[in-house]
Amino acid sequence: KPAVLETKAPMPRATIIEFFDACNARLDLPETCEGLLELFSKTVQREKRGDAIAQMQRDQLEILGFESKHGCAMLERIPQDFAADKELQARL
């Protein structure tokens, strides 16, 4: 994780793709699957299950150099900022 995280600049397309690829790869790891299955078996509330995945995604944003709240805001803008980009839209 970089020492200084981005808090203002837009997220480049390449970083967005890297984010999606990294999250998918992380979810495919046996240790991630095992950890989530264990958590899910102990967690009844669906929202709390989703929180674990959301935290993993926020951590990934910071690994890529974007402060998590800013990174989430940039990801939410994909439909507006990349409206004509079919590949990026499909990754959502």
pLDDT band at 33 (very low <50, low <70, confident <90, very high): very high
Q: What is the mean pLDDT of residues 67-78?
A: 97
Q: Mind giving me the DSSP string for 1-42?
A: --SS-BSSSPPPHHHHHHHHHHHHHHHHSHHHHHHHHHHHHH
The terminus-to-terminus CA distance of the chain in angstroms comes to: 24
Query: Tokens 């993993």, residue?
Result: 56
Average pLDDT, whole number, for the chain? 93
pLDDT band at 40 (very low <50, low <70, confident <90, very high): confident
Q: What's the full length of the chain, in residues? A: 92
Distance CA 32, CA 10 (A): 29
Report pLDDT digits (tens) over 47-60. 778 898 999 999 99
